[in-house]
Amino acid sequence: MKAQLKSDRHMIRINDNFIKLPASYLFSEIARRVETFASTHKGEPIIRMGIGDVTRPICPAAVEAMHKAVADEADASTFKGYGPEQGYMFLREKIVEHDYWKRGIDISADEVFVSDGAKSDTGNIGDIFSSECKVAVTDPVYPVYIDTNVMSGRAGSLTDGKWSRIEYLPCSEENSFVPSLPAMAPDIIYLCYPNNPTGTTLTRTQLKAWVDYAKSHNALILFDSAYEAYISEADVPHSIYEIEGAKEVAIEFRSFSKTAGFTGVRCGYTVVPHELKGIDADGKTVELNALWNRRQCTKFNGASYISQRAAEALYSEEGQKQIRDTIDYYMENARMLREGIAQAGIRCRGGINAPYIWIKTPGNLSSWQFFDLMLSKCHVVGTPGVGFGPSGEGYFRLTAFSSRENTAEAVERIKRLAAHM
């Protein structure tokens, strides 16, 4: 009788969209494989260049600011509890002054929403859009863009590595990793430049074509510029708002994680211009800034006071110099990887305006075959390109975020591997 009662008991209904997702997130699967390998190869040093985590310490200006912020929290007269969900004005004003006004871009502080990082915001932004919206992504692509649309019911069904309601815009050697404009008139277009994972960029003229397309097709661009601080070429825009008319068609996401080593501190921001509008079910016009503000006030309590004080310090003269030193360090790693891999006779891209090297797997190996080969023979961990989408098959990503010593050692190991292939 007890067994019968238990089997008849009502169970909570789940969001079926989560069941559609692959069993594990890309980087979780990488971590599982590396852990399995490490457990059977104890004492053998593994160089980790897979997940895009940084290794250089937080710059001194930010550390000092955090110490002061902790002292504020320890004193009743300066204690800060809940802060504004949109971020403290002291940081929002620094952001618009340094990241936008100095580039001739008219952004106001109330268009900036401070958060705990770009991953959260690029994943959560879908909350304010209809589940009926059609989505386009460049391929390969940062998995968060795809997975969160699956969770929200916009993706359709998965067949041969592609979701039926998502338009994939292939980036390959044939088109120099610059995608063609959409053919299916999507409502939402995800762009990430400098690109993760390929390390490629769009020139000002190329980006203007996307803005013009969005304006003529009533589309919205979600522009992830988390790596803009790594840009070294003059004709590559740091912000989509450098393009005339972009404030009418684009939301921009930025992060301090890769710029200032904040992967553990957690702080970033999203810009939602007042010019951006949508329509509701009745056809009434609604400002997206107000919708995102409503979403954040309901679901987010704001980034911590301590992390925001640290981010503010990054805009000081000392902070800017220290950030530049860190970025230069990683980009020297990128140069070593790019040139060393090319010397080994393996084709690769990136590493000029971004801290990623996009490798063409040699010998027609699949992405996961090359991952296993690199792990077993070189003890170097990268990311299989296919994990970023169908067009990533046959490619492999390495990051420049390791130490100088590990980067040099990884290059030598790869050269030895290539010599025996």
Sorted by where each starts, the structural domains of the chain and their CATH numbers stand as 14-57+319-419 (3.90.1150.10), 60-316 (3.40.640.10)
**Burial of 417 (C-beta count, 10 Å sphere; 0-12/13-18/19+):** middle
Whole-number Å distance between alpha carbons of 260 and 327: 8
Quote the longest CA-to-CA distance of the chain: 76
pLDDT along the chain (421 residues), means of 10: 56 95 81 91 92 91 98 98 97 98 98 96 98 98 96 95 96 95 98 96 98 98 97 97 98 95 95 98 97 98 97 98 97 98 97 97 96 96 95 97 97 95 82
pTM of the complete model = 0.95
Which residues make Cβ contacts (< 8 Å) with residue 108, sequence separation at least 6? 96, 274
Under 8 Å between Cβ of 114 and 314: no
d(CA 382, CA 372): 10
Structural contact between residues 146 and 198, judged by C-beta atoms closer than 8 angstroms: no
CB 128 within 8 A of CB 277: no
In this prediction, residue 117 carries a pLDDT of: 94
